[in-house]
Structure 1
């Protein structure tokens, strides 16, 4: 029988935040070494893992990638890590597929590389792996993600996930403090923050684009009720369907913040703290995934490509290294939604993930 549930049950019990996946990485690396892979740990001084199997014959280098990190939540007032995005499922699928591919002697040409990546939720894990040389010799890379039930039910899979670009902008606004009875002597940082939020809300891109930009955090407090606050912090979340659209949205956002704050004499320290690119998917790779899905689930189990406003740092791989990339979605009856603290899914769908992952590898290296 497949070991996917055994791996999942273990990983699910040890959720760890980005770049802190020490137990997770140790377990995965040990299991890969037992299976016969050459394993390199601590890629770029992180918890990242690269495992490799060389067939000894000429051929392409295929990388299969899974993310390992859990999400941070505040539950009943307690900060905790919890697997609410399915990364434990992704790692279990890839680990099981890797074991079976070697056991069955399926790799007939080229090399198979397994990328177990930290810190996807932080948006910096893929970049850390790239900087560590994880895909310098890779010709093609494939990733996957569990999907919500209303998007892709169990028994179905989508051959291409078109994620949007996402950007986080953090701004510290500096005004001038004053007594509440003498507002003319100060510059109200709260007023500046409100003006910046309103200015950003007036931004428009072409109506044909699915985009959004909105403030998601605002902190401002003078400490008392009768003083003009001199400092404010505001965070914006930006989403756009393409990388050029994100470039336009980001430029307009930064300009709106800067000019609106300066209009009343305040200053803004602006930081673009996280940038995740939109999907760059290769048609050849999507065709390979399509054929693999049909092999496993039949043509009736093949969903259309999915377009989502969510972000996925996987797409740094094709953008930074110009490698052919594909990314597919696995139906698993996931409810009530990704990142929900009570997220759950049908664990039996993990077997479909293992079979489709193996089928993809065989079409390239078999």
Structure 2
């Protein structure tokens, strides 16, 4: 009997932020060990987990990946961790899949690896797992994500989710303070920040590309209203459907910030705080997923591949290890009002569908 809902209820009640998923990781690792997997904890010094099942017979190495971290929300003035991106659902599905694959003796040749990854929301978890050797012997890697209702309803699934590249750029802009009555004696960091925002807004890429850049945070305060502020912090969110235009966009943003603030005598310390690549999916893996979806949900349950302006650190895996064939699919679950919304909810019965699709994939590759 599937323990998917049991896992979900437990994990949903203990949300933890990226890289501090201690209780989450301990729960998952203990159950994998009890199921009979060889388990490696604390991958690369993180909360990451690698579980292995070796059939003892030659064959490919297939890996399934789930993310474990929750999001931080300010609620009633307090920062709280809350599972509003469905990672508790992802972990529950992959954990239950691993248990059932072991119980049913599905793996008859090759090896199955199960990856539980920290810090997806920080954009660093996949990179930490790669550095910890998680993919060194992997031939194929599959992941998935719960989808919002407007993209995919319960009873349907998406064979390939085509995520966008994203980056977060921060500029710490330095001017010099002065009395507001004598602004010529200082350099106004707020003016420089506004100039930088306007300069970035003037960037253009080819109009046939899907991309965006926008300022998302501006912090500037001299402490009083009659002084010229000496420092400002500005963040920009960058998005691109493909990786190559993202490289061009990022270069233009960095140049625009640097020269616009310099025009009024300020300077900027610019950093790229987070980057996630655009989707890289293998046609063979997408076909495998599509066949598995049809076998579980019928032809009517299979949708076309879908593009999303959201981003996923899963795609660091194929970017870092291009020899690994990757597939990433979406599970319809009537999720509302949206991912990352503090009151996000979905139909829990859909989680069982996720387990069945993954089991079909494992059966086709290793059965």
TM-score (norm 2): 0.99
C-alpha displacement of 1:191: 0.2
Report the counterpart of residue 59 of structure 2 in structure 1.
59
Residue matched to 2:35: 35
Deviations 1:167-215 (A, max 9, x none): 0001100001111111111110000000000000011111111111001
- Mapped to 1, the partners of 2:208 and 2:39 lie a distance apart of 46
User: Is it true that 1:199 corresponds to 2:168 in the alignment?
Assistant: no
Q: State the match for 1:325 in structure 2.
A: 326
Partner of 1:173: 173
- Aligned partners of 1:208, 1:294: CA distance in 2, in Å? 34
Q: Distance in 2 between matches of 1:86 and 1:210?
A: 26
* Runs of 4+ with >4 A deviation: none
Shift in Å at residue 133 of structure 1? 0.4
Equivalence for 2:100: 100
Distance 1:334 1:225 in 2: 45
Q: Give me the whole-angstrom Cα distance separating, in 1, the residues matched to 2:87 and 2:207.
A: 34
Give the match for residue 86 of structure 2: 86
Unaligned runs of 5+ in 2: none
Q: Determine helix, strand or coil for the equivalent of 1:331.
A: strand
Q: Which residue of 2 aligns with 1:279?
A: 279
Q: What is the Cα deviation at residue 151 of structure 1? A: 0.4
* RMSD between aligned residues: 0.5
What is the distance in 2 between the residues matched to 1:310 and 1:44? 27
For residue 282 of structure 1, report the CA deviation from its aligned partner. 0.4
- Three-state SS of the structure 2 residue aligned to 1:278 is coil
2:348 alignment partner in structure 1? 347
- The one-character-per-residue Cα deviations of 1:90-138 (angstroms, maximum 9, x if unpaired) are 0000000100001001101100000000000000000000000011100
User: Offset at 1:228?
Assistant: 0.5
Match of 1:159 in 2: 159
Query: Where in structure 2 are the equivalents of 1:177-256 lying within 5 Å?
Result: 177-256=177-256
In the alignment, structure 1 residue 336 sits paired with structure 2 residue 337: yes
Give the deviation of 1:245 after TM superposition.
0.7
Between 1:15-24 and 1:205-214, the stretch displaced more is 205-214
Measure the CA separation in 1 of the matches of 2:98 and 2:243.
Answer: 33
Q: Does 1:140 align with 2:140?
A: yes
Match of 2:360 in 1: 359
Distance 1:78 1:357 in 2: 38
CA distance in 2, matches of 1:315, 1:242: 12
1:165 Cα deviation from its structure 2 partner: 0.3
Give structure 1 stretches of 5+ with no counterpart: none
TM-score of the pair, normalised by structure 1: 0.99
Q: In 2, Cα distance between the equivalents of 1:157 and 1:216?
A: 32
Q: Work out the CA distance in 2 between the residues paired with 1:108 and 1:294.
A: 23
Does 1:12 find its partner at 2:9? no
SS at match of 1:336: coil
Provide, for residues 228-255 of structure 1, a one-character-per-residue CA deviation record: whole Å limited to 9, x for no partner.
Answer: 1110000000000111010010011001
Query: Displacement, 1:88?
Result: 0.3
Structure 1 residue 273 displacement after superposition: 1.0
C-alpha deviation, 1:321, in angstroms: 1.0
Separation of aligned partners in 1, 2:4 and 2:223: 53
Within 1, Cα distance between the matches of 2:243 and 2:210? 12
Separation in 2 of the partners of 1:319 and 1:270?
24
1:2 aligns to what SS in structure 2? Answer: coil
What is the DSSP-based 3-state SS (H/G/I as helix, E as strand, rest coil) of the residue aligned with 2:331?
Answer: strand
CA distance in 1, matches of 2:111, 2:318: 19
